[in-house]
Structure 1
Amino acid sequence: MGAVSPFRRDLVVVGASAGGVEALRTVVSALPPDFPAAVLVTMHLSAGTQSALAQILDRTGSLPARPARHGEPIEPGTVYVATPDRHLLTGDGVLVLTQGPTESGHRPAINATFRSAAVTHGPKVVGVVLSGVLDDGAAGLRAIVDRGGVAVVQDPADALYSGMPQSALASVDTEHVVRAGEIGALLDKLVRMPVEPAELPPPSDTLLLEDEIARDSVRAGAFPPSDQLAGSGYTCPDCQGALTEVDPAGQYRCRIGHAWSAEALLSAHDGEFRFALQKALRALDEKAGLARKLATQLSGRQAGGLSERYTASAREAAEAAETLRRFLVGQGEWAGDEATTP
């Protein structure tokens, strides 16, 4: 039986978020016209918006860049950009766009793209994580490496927002930690280098299930309970359903299929906490104002001490509101990973 021939990596998947537009422009501008692999770019985008990212990248480098279209063949030397409110996945030689459940509040989600590439292309994938906050892309990059692919991470010191690169490096071991200006040349080298096939285990059941959920859209029972999976005791910020822990590293799914990393879940609950405090502050301010109005209306009347009671109530509410306001100001404005629409 003859030896199995070497192959080359033919798919590059890139994830970026906050601060990622400039990093993407830097990377794409360095790719040569004869780049022999396809490039899939996923960046967090708000639903219902128009994105100019594909046009920006098309003007930036020598490779054509365009918005991804469902069912389009994946061609080498082309940059495909995820569109708002659609996960960008890979199929049998074609692009697949879905409205699968959001992941850490995002659709498109970087993890969904990376997992899909790991399932369909295995060791032929190069995964790249660029600037962004929180940790989208870390679990997907681990799936790529587990399936024999290669991880490339922007040096956190070079990223405008270091959260995503740092989370990726905490999840995978890789020698390819470089500045954005060096990534293009590195990718060109990686996709031209012959790779000897290696025996790899099949994709795990968890990886296949999560990829299937991203493909099958939101449906009742998308993530059925299992005796092997532990209930987390947490609730999904998207639908308030119970979350199940699907990965000891801190990955959660609800019955609808919404996915959350531990870090993103913490950030979402932080936002809920601050929103609750802001509602409480509003209620205290309104209570103090109404109590002062009632006290003024009853002032000087024979009201059995009601005016004094309202005055005291207004003072207590105002003091509590001031304490809460000082706390919120001291915490500063919450800076979550807001969707970007370049």
Structure 2
Amino acid sequence: MAERRIRVLNAPPKDAPSFERLEKPPTRNRNVIVIGASAGGVEPLKQLVGDLPPDLMAAVFVVLHVGPTSYLPEILHHAASLPAWKAENGAKFEAGNIYVAPPGFHLLLHDDHMMLRRGPRENLARPSIDPLFRSAALSYGARVVGVLLSGALSDGTAGLRAVKAVGGLAVLQHPKDAAVPDMVKSALRYVEIDHCVPAAELGGMLGRLAAEPAGETLPAPPGIRLEAAIAAQEHSTMKDEDRLGQLSVFTCPECHGPLWEIEDGDMLRYRCHTGHAFTSEAMMEAQSAEADEILWSLLRAHQQRAEFTRRMAERETKRDRSELAKQLRERAKEYAADAEVIERILESRRTTAASNDAIEEQGAGK
């Protein structure tokens, strides 16, 4: 068991079976499996990898929204019969292995190796699911199986659309089986899904799909290529990104630059000149967080102004400057009243958010 734990932290052994040697030209199997998960995604991930066959003829890549520290490679390594590794920049990958995006980096695929990039966050996350799915779609076309598991908001939907656009397969954890079903519900709205099953069925299904020959790879739309290049930090000019959509009236919640509005089928997305990307759901979440930050800042400012003015009034009272002290006290009351208004707004936002969460939980339970 100790030997297996050590292997997680190092590159795959040189004698590992070659990814290309496992190809059987001219027929190629679906040998690239990309998986995205967020809130509530660890348990279905463990279930999935634990059910993968030990002779899986595919490489598996995982993105989970994480903080600055992650033990996911070790967790999956012990849950699966396949070895799990932390993805390394420039490293080649092999069939029969699981590779996990490290914190703070987008995981991208190109030819037979992995790339890690500290590009702009997409859908408020880095690593983000969409960049992995897009890069896999561009490099491997119909050989890709994209999988979305439990998670909040809608990261992964645009990436899954890219996988489908080139002839790959789209697989979901069933929303009734997901602890947080937002991501899979978003994919169901905007993507033509091939399979939607509980987590307990995913591992066996992926094993069977990986053994099947892939279909025909379709040409990738230019927008997918451009967005993949942005994630890889190969393009960073406003002229290039303007081709993605129309310039909108909105500004980026992350860098406050202009946003381009992208119509991706029925789905509406946004991207700024820096490269930050948002689905409409992620955009609303980011705007809400920005509004809260502004309100809390205003509340602190008004509270401090009220307190400072009160102290100045006391000081003037001690100096027998009663008229000035009266004016300062009146001004302090105005600042305090402003602070109370902001507090009521924040309380109203908290109540609304709690009510919306309760409605969503009821809907998920149906």
TM > 0.5: yes
Q: Which residue of structure 1 aligns with residue 125 of structure 2?
A: 106
Q: Which residue of structure 2 aligns with residue 296 of structure 1?
A: 314
Tell me, yes or no, if structure 1 residue 305 matches structure 2 residue 326. no
Contact 1:133 1:161 in 2 (8 A): yes
Q: Which residue of structure 2 aligns with residue 275 of structure 1?
A: 293
Deviations 1:143-176 (A, max 9, x none): 1111111111112222221211111111112242
Q: Which residue of structure 1 aligns with residue 10 of structure 2?
A: none
Deviations 1:282-325 (A, max 9, x none): 01111221222223333376535222222222222222212321
User: Following the alignment from structure 2 to structure 1, what is the Cα–Cα distance between the partners of residues 244 and 309?
Assistant: 56
Tell me, yes or no, if structure 1 residue 211 matches structure 2 residue 232. no
Counting only pairs closer than 5 Å after superposition, residues 12-51 of structure 1 correspond to structure 2 as 12-46=33-67, 49-51=68-70
Contact 2:129 2:155 in 1 (8 A): yes
User: Following the alignment from structure 1 to structure 2, what is the Cα–Cα distance between the partners of residues 139 and 59?
Assistant: 31
Please list every run of 5 or more consecutive structure 2 residues that lacks an aligned counterpart in the other structure: 1-24, 355-366
Which range moved further: 7-16 or 319-328? 319-328
Contact 1:90 1:120 in 2 (8 A): yes
Counting only pairs closer than 5 Å after superposition, residues 27-106 of structure 1 correspond to structure 2 as 27-46=48-67, 49-106=68-125
User: Following the alignment from structure 1 to structure 2, what is the Cα–Cα distance between the partners of residues 223 and 149?
Assistant: 30
Deviations 1:110-157 (A, max 9, x none): 000000111111111111111111111000001111111111111222
Q: CA deviation at 1:275?
A: 0.5
Contact 2:169 2:194 in 1 (8 A): no
Q: Which residue of structure 1 aligns with residue 245 of structure 2?
A: 229
Q: Which residue of structure 2 aligns with residue 119 of structure 1?
A: 138
User: Following the alignment from structure 1 to structure 2, what is the Cα–Cα distance between the partners of residues 320 and 191?
Assistant: 62
After superposition, the CA RMSD in angstroms is 2.3
What is the identity, as a one-letter code, of the residue corresponding to 1:14?
A: I
TM-score normalised to structure 2 length: 0.82
Counting only pairs closer than 5 Å after superposition, residues 316-331 of structure 1 correspond to structure 2 as 316-331=334-349
Distance 1:203 1:98, change over 3 A: same
Which range moved further: 312-321 or 6-15? 312-321
What is the DSSP-based 3-state SS (H/G/I as helix, E as strand, rest coil) of the residue aligned with 2:232?
helix
User: Following the alignment from structure 1 to structure 2, what is the Cα–Cα distance between the partners of residues 222 and 324?
Assistant: 38
Distance 1:225 1:136, change over 3 A: closer
Distance 1:265 1:27, change over 3 A: same
What is the DSSP-based 3-state SS (H/G/I as helix, E as strand, rest coil) of the residue aligned with 1:305?
helix
Aligned residues: 327
User: Following the alignment from structure 1 to structure 2, what is the Cα–Cα distance between the partners of residues 61 and 257?
Assistant: 36
User: Following the alignment from structure 1 to structure 2, what is the Cα–Cα distance between the partners of residues 60 and 149?
Assistant: 27
Counting only pairs closer than 5 Å after superposition, residues 83-232 of structure 1 correspond to structure 2 as 83-195=102-214, 197-198=215-216, 200-216=217-233, 220-221=236-237, 224=240, 226=242, 229-232=245-248
What is the DSSP-based 3-state SS (H/G/I as helix, E as strand, rest coil) of the residue aligned with 1:193?
coil
Deviations 1:185-218 (A, max 9, x none): 22112112344x34x541111011111111235x
Q: CA deviation at 1:222?
A: 6.5
In the alignment, which of 259, 269, 274 is matched to residue 243 of structure 1? 259
User: Following the alignment from structure 1 to structure 2, what is the Cα–Cα distance between the partners of residues 123 and 156?
Assistant: 25
Contact 2:122 2:278 in 1 (8 A): yes
Report which structure shows greater RCO (CA 8 Å, sep ≥6): 1
User: Following the alignment from structure 2 to structure 1, what is the Cα–Cα distance between the partners of residues 66 and 58?
Assistant: 25
Distance 1:75 1:220, change over 3 A: closer
Q: Which residue of structure 1 aligns with residue 360 of structure 2?
A: none
Which range moved further: 4-13 or 34-43? 4-13
Q: Which residue of structure 1 aligns with residue 359 of structure 2?
A: none
Contact 1:206 1:246 in 2 (8 A): no
What is the DSSP-based 3-state SS (H/G/I as helix, E as strand, rest coil) of the residue aligned with 2:154?
coil
User: Following the alignment from structure 1 to structure 2, what is the Cα–Cα distance between the partners of residues 179 and 223?
Assistant: 44
Contact 2:148 2:184 in 1 (8 A): yes
Contact 1:223 1:254 in 2 (8 A): no
Contact 1:54 1:67 in 2 (8 A): yes
User: Following the alignment from structure 1 to structure 2, what is the Cα–Cα distance between the partners of residues 254 and 115?
Assistant: 18
